[in-house]
Structure 1
């Protein structure tokens, strides 16, 4: 019987050893070997991270393609995923309502606006509204669309790269190399903006809400916000406000986030205002990426401004 017992004992020990190895393997897959999960709040941040990292990171932009990332709110399952992420990269300046409403672990959150504190633009009358029968009053706020100035996007990318390296030091060389490539890819946009600034400085524009202030500052322009709600037809009060502003300012240009309808375009033209649509790219484009879409939009903007210059110039 003794040899038989020895065989069974050896078999038992081998089984224990195999089980322990399997447990260790599963634990390894569940920690260091799995991709690091990084959650973002909008497409520009997604574009930056996609430009910086490889398969060792998993990037999650939880906002559905047909939802506005500024006001979208996640469901319970998505909330759980977000809270378990290795890193949550937010925009700051109160962009994305869900960031303000969820309890997020501070150690995992990177607020990219902190990297550009010196460049932030605060609008005194960011939001104007009424309470009950009282008169209108306003609240100051910080404009959140930093990436419309590629120089600020590059500074966001610097901060993100450092945080990603802290998360995965082994990827430092790759991330730093990709960061330089990203900055090179932004150079043509800066060149286009330099040309626009040189050719069309000092312009005054209307916009519905605070979106284009960083772009305007980059181009030496002034933005006048109308406090019109996005994608909502202006009411009688809105048109009266515009009429009053036109009597004071006589501004002939307006930037819109989405293409205005024919009726709105015609009515603005009657007020002497020409509209250019510039998508701020808070959501991923259907084709191309941030750089290619911004390049194309800036080309169209230059053509638009050239045409406006010809129209406004007296014939000799």
Structure 2
């Protein structure tokens, strides 16, 4: 039987090579495990965040007094948190009726500005300013530069105290002070307030001008609403308790007829009331406007005689406390007046 050649391979070197690889792998694995278990150096604690400091609201830079509500509203909107604004005439009181007291003077002594309407609305103003022993307070006439309309201060039944005014009445020399009821003239008053604020506190000029720009837009929007609503109305005459809407009437092509004159305290004569009755009937006037701070007696008398209704219209001489609590302002009340005018003139 023939012998087969068998080739025998020497496996020893291969075995040793394999063992070496296994040994090296084991060492690497052990090293990795040891590294994982070894304590790590403590992390450096992060710096705590710096505390956030909120800027405190800027304290008012100027103290401002106003004589009555519209100026108080305009000044507050322009001055914002940079002006401390107060008014002399309290809520629910007409500036025609109010008289200052000693407390008025003590408050004004610390003020920088006193904003007033002028044109005879505040007959007590000179007495108040003259009694102040301070040169700090600057009075600001907000109607300066406005050409006033002229009117009749009261009817023939003027009191003896009105005799001096009666002399001027015939010549039509007494100015109508109710300029704020024309939105564009009220804007001019706001411009005077802006100028006085900038002069008193120039560091806040940009702040005041930014606030005024917003306010100016509100006046212009209100004017546009009045023009749109009142143009082409069936009637153009309206009857009011006293002659406070002449500027508004002139701006929008209307004619006001007053039960009393520029002063709400004036009483018409029996003849004047009879003439009003004839006018209401002749022009088909359906409503008589009553003001919130004026006695309704005469309006009710005319309404009973003619069958006309009574609507409220507000000359904004002084808002009632409940109106202020409800958040009303110059613009909301002027829009309420527009609704009433639209209804009366259609």
Superposed pair shares fold, TM > 0.5: yes
Structure 2 counterparts to residues 1-316 of structure 1, below 5 A: 35-104=61-130, 108-117=138-147, 120-123=148-151, 125-128=152-155, 129=158, 131=160, 139=169, 140=172, 141-200=174-233, 203-227=236-260, 230=264, 238-247=269-278, 250-251=282-283, 252=285, 253-258=287-292, 264-265=299-300, 267-271=302-306, 273-284=308-319, 285-286=323-324, 287=326, 288-306=328-346
Q: Which residue of 2 aligns with 1:23?
A: none
C-alpha distance in structure 2 between counterparts of 1:109 and 1:89, whole Å: 6
Greater helix proportion: 1
Q: Is the 8 A contact 1:196 1:219 kept in 2?
A: no
- CA drift of 1:291 comes to 0.9
Cα distance per residue 1:242-299 (max 9 Å; x no partner): 2134446834253321387599536425335444321111223332211122223312
Cα distance per residue 1:117-168 (max 9 Å; x no partner): 3xx1111x32332659x9x956242111111111011111111101110100
C-alpha distance in structure 2 between counterparts of 1:173 and 1:242, whole Å: 53
- CA drift of 1:222 comes to 1.7
C-alpha distance in structure 1 between counterparts of 2:166 and 2:204, whole Å: 50
- CA drift of 1:93 comes to 0.9
Structure label with greater radius of gyration: 2
Q: Residue 130 and residue 63 in structure 1: after superposition, are their counterparts in 2 closer, same or farther (change >3 A)?
A: closer
Q: Is the 8 A contact 2:290 2:299 kept in 1?
A: no
Q: Residue 172 and residue 221 in structure 1: after superposition, are their counterparts in 2 closer, same or farther (change >3 A)?
A: same
- CA drift of 1:176 comes to 0.8
Q: Is the 8 A contact 1:256 1:275 kept in 2?
A: yes
Structure 1 gap ranges (5+): 1-32, 307-316
- Report the RMSD for the aligned CA atoms in angstroms: 3.2
Moved more, 203-212 or 174-183: 203-212
C-alpha distance in structure 1 between counterparts of 2:256 and 2:339, whole Å: 20
Q: Residue 270 and residue 248 in structure 1: after superposition, are their counterparts in 2 closer, same or farther (change >3 A)?
A: closer
Highest RCO, 1 vs 2 (Cα 8 Å, sep ≥ 6): 2
Cα distance per residue 1:76-99 (max 9 Å; x no partner): 132132144211110011112331
C-alpha distance in structure 1 between counterparts of 2:333 and 2:159, whole Å: 38
C-alpha distance in structure 1 between counterparts of 2:332 and 2:80, whole Å: 21
- CA drift of 1:172 comes to 0.7
C-alpha distance in structure 2 between counterparts of 1:165 and 1:262, whole Å: 46
Structure 2 gap ranges (5+): 1-58
Q: Is the 8 A contact 1:202 1:222 kept in 2?
A: no
C-alpha distance in structure 1 between counterparts of 2:159 and 2:96, whole Å: 22
Cα distance per residue 1:169-224 (max 9 Å; x no partner): 01110111111100112233212210233132761233332211111112211223
Q: Is the 8 A contact 1:255 1:278 kept in 2?
A: yes
Q: Is the 8 A contact 1:87 1:109 kept in 2?
A: yes
Cα distance per residue 1:17-65 (max 9 Å; x no partner): xxxxxxxxxxxxxxxx763111101110011111111323111112222
C-alpha distance in structure 2 between counterparts of 1:170 and 1:93, whole Å: 32
